[in-house]
Amino acid sequence: MNRWPVRLRSIAAALVLVCAALGPAHAQDSSRRIMFTVVDENGHAVEGAQVTIAEPGMAPVQLWTDYAGNCRYEPKQHETYQIVVEKAGFYRAEA
């Protein structure tokens, strides 16, 4: 029995939940780094997920998660920004 398609859907759902849990992101301090972690439904890190962060009036910044599912970003403004997480084979997630 091939369970691969079910697993992809489950992981995609987890990516959506991780991003949704972030909600609208606000920079508290421009000198403070923010760490994002992308995990699957079992809590396993998702390596190589693309995290795109868009701040108002600035070009979007693209980051990729490391082997532990982490990436870091330093906000440039005290504004609301948008986060998008994508990986081939998964649904796109936005927060």
Inform me whether the pLDDT recorded for 70 exceeds 90.
yes
Question: What is the band of 47 on the pLDDT scale with cuts at 50, 70, 90?
Answer: very high
Inform me whether the pLDDT recorded for 39 exceeds 70.
yes
State mean pLDDT over 63-73.
Answer: 94
Inform me whether the pLDDT recorded for 36 exceeds 90.
no
**Mean pLDDT, the chain, integer:** 74
- Measured in whole angstroms, the distance separating CA 79 from the mean position of its chain's CA atoms is 18
Q: Taking the C-alpha atoms of 64, 65, 66 and 69 in order, what is their torsion angle to the nearest 10 degrees? A: -170
Q: What is the pTM of this model?
A: 0.66
Question: What is the band of 75 on the pLDDT scale with cuts at 50, 70, 90?
Answer: confident
Q: Which residue has the tokens 């609301």?
A: 80
Give me the pLDDT at residue 62, please: 96
Q: Residue 60 corresponds to which tokens in the numbers above?
A: 């979007």
CA distance 68 to 16: 18
Q: Which residue has the tokens 């939940």?
A: 17
